[in-house]
Amino acid sequence: MLNCGIVGLPNVGKSTIFSSLTSAKAEAANYPFCTIEPNVGIVSVPDKRLGMITEYIVPQKVIPAVVEFVDIAGLVKGASKGEGLGNKFLGHIRQVGAIIHVVRCFDDDDVVHVEGKVDPISDIETISIELALADLETVQKRQENIVKFLKSQDKKISDNAKAVKPILELVSNALENGSPANSVDLDERQIELIADLHLITMKSQLYCCNVSEDDIGDDNEYVKKVRDYAQKDGSSVVVISGQLESEIATLDTEEEKADFLEAAGLEESGLDKLIRKGYEILGLKTYFTAGEKEVRAWTFPKASKAPQAAGVIHSDFEKGFIRAETYHCTDLFEFKSEQKLKENGKIRLEGKDYEVDDGDVLHFRFNV
């Protein structure tokens, strides 16, 4: 399963946010949730469309899409040189699909800041430099190995090495300057050629500003700085209050949570925003299956063709794919029943080349 790794300096609120994320969802009976390891949690993706579909197709069960979060502790200055438990944690970050970078944007004299003062940009740069240095080491190791591969008798190996060599040079130049690997202008084929390096700075990233309860409505000075910074490096920003979210997480029912949010003047919890953004930067999209038994959201990688998307449900669906009966959920919201959709010619028959759209409702036809 694709996942988001939560990184940041110590004491910025990573674990607070992580445990609110996971406990909040454990309460809701319909949401599948499980904990594999203490620092790994599977969280359901909030999606209003799922509830709207069930107004017109009433199922016995509703199953949302899920996404996994990993609380990665222990990044400090010098992590790439093995400070703290640096190398071990960098290993964990290599395994995740995308990175949520928690940045401390709250003042609190009771919570020690590792650098002595709250300075989100300096914090971001500390972490970014460690990640770039870790990647640089990975790239340099490959550059050393490639000297051998270039001389290989096996033409496949030597050809591959020849193609990879200039890409490594471009990437290592960027990393040496402290720039992330994804700042290098590479085409898809080039990215594919170095994908096995699992470079951390190649992954999508979003900044999660952890602010105090009082600052949740209007950006404080720290958040403004992070937004400026993120604009330059093309990352998204989510503002959240770890403290507030952990209070919400202790409430038992969805109603209590809704009341709490309303009283705080919020439309949705910061966590819901964070989950949706995390899902988005992983490059994931959602389609639905809808019937009397269940209405369910399925996660697929963007730009998937119909058989590949069907394979998310079962590999037989992909192998034996014949076609998909398809409509978009917004058509259902307009016409209010599948019968009406049919009468109005809104149900399409799509074949193997159909690129599935976010929000499609699909019925697959297949044989095995």
Q: Which residues make up the interface to Mg ion (CB under 5 A)?
A: 14-15, 73
Which helix (H) or strand (E) is 134 found in, with range?
helix 120-150
- By a kind-dependent CB cut-off of 5 to 8 A, residue 210 interacts, out of ligand GDP, Mg ion, none, with ligand GDP
> Out of Mg ion, ligand GDP, none, which partner does residue 5 contact, by CB within 5 to 8 A per kind?
none
- Nearest to ligand GDP of 34, 111 (CB atom): 111
With beta carbons less than 8 A apart as the criterion, state whether 244 and 221 touch.
Answer: no
Give the nearest distance from C-beta 258 to Mg ion in angstroms. 29
- Compare residues 11 and 212 and give the one whose CB is closer to Mg ion: 11
Which residues are near ligand GDP by CB under 6 A?
8, 10-16, 106, 108, 111, 210, 212, 241-243
Q: In this structure, which amino acid lies at residue 24?
A: A
Among ligand GDP, Mg ion, none, what does residue 13 contact (CB within 5–8 Å per kind)? ligand GDP
Q: Return the sign of the alpha-carbon dihedral for residues 109, 14, 101, 124.
A: positive
Q: Which residue is nearest to Mg ion (CB)?
A: 15
Give CA–CA dist 278/302, Å, rounded.
14
Find where tokens 């990437």 sit. Answer: 171
Report which residue's Cβ sits closest to ligand GDP.
242
Nearer to Mg ion, 69 or 327 (CB): 69
Q: What is the DSSP letter of 355?
A: B
The residue type found at 105 is C
In the list ligand GDP, Mg ion, none, the entry touching 86 (Cβ below 5 to 8 angstroms by class) is none
d(CA 14, CA 10): 8
- Report, in Å, the least distance between residue 220 CB and ligand GDP: 12
Q: Which is nearer to ligand GDP, 106 or 354 (CB)?
A: 106
Chain position carrying tokens 């970050």: 93
Q: Taking the CB of residue 324, how many other CB atoms lie within 10 A of it?
A: 25
Residue 36's binding partner out of ligand GDP, Mg ion, none, with CB under 5 to 8 Å set by partner kind:
none
CB under 5 to 8 A by kind: which of ligand GDP, Mg ion, none does 59 bind?
A: none
Shortest distance, position 75 Cβ to ligand GDP, whole Å: 9
259 binds, among ligand GDP, Mg ion, none (CB under 5 to 8 A by kind): none
Question: Residue 149: phi, psi to the nearest 5?
Answer: -60, -35
Q: CB of residue 14 vs Mg ion: minimum separation in angstroms? A: 5
Give Cα 206 to chain centroid, integer Å: 9
For the CB of residue 96, give the shortest distance to Mg ion in the complex, in Å: 16
Query: Shortest Cβ distance from residue 235 to Mg ion (Å)?
Result: 22
* β strands within the chain, DSSP E: 3-7, 40-44, 61-63, 66-71, 98-104, 204-210, 236-240, 284-290, 294-301, 321-328, 348-350, 360-366
Choose the contact partner of 8 out of Mg ion, ligand GDP, none; CB within 5 to 8 A by kind: ligand GDP
Taking the least distance from each CB to ligand GDP, the nearer of 111 and 349 is: 111
- Start-to-end CA span in the chain (Å): 25
The CB-of-165 to Mg ion minimum distance in angstroms stands at 40
DSSP 9-53: STTSSHHHHHHHHHHHHHH-TTS---BSSTTEEEEEPP-HHHHHH
CB 14 to ligand GDP: min, Å:
3
Identity of the residue, 8 or 311, whose beta carbon is nearer to ligand GDP in the bound complex: 8
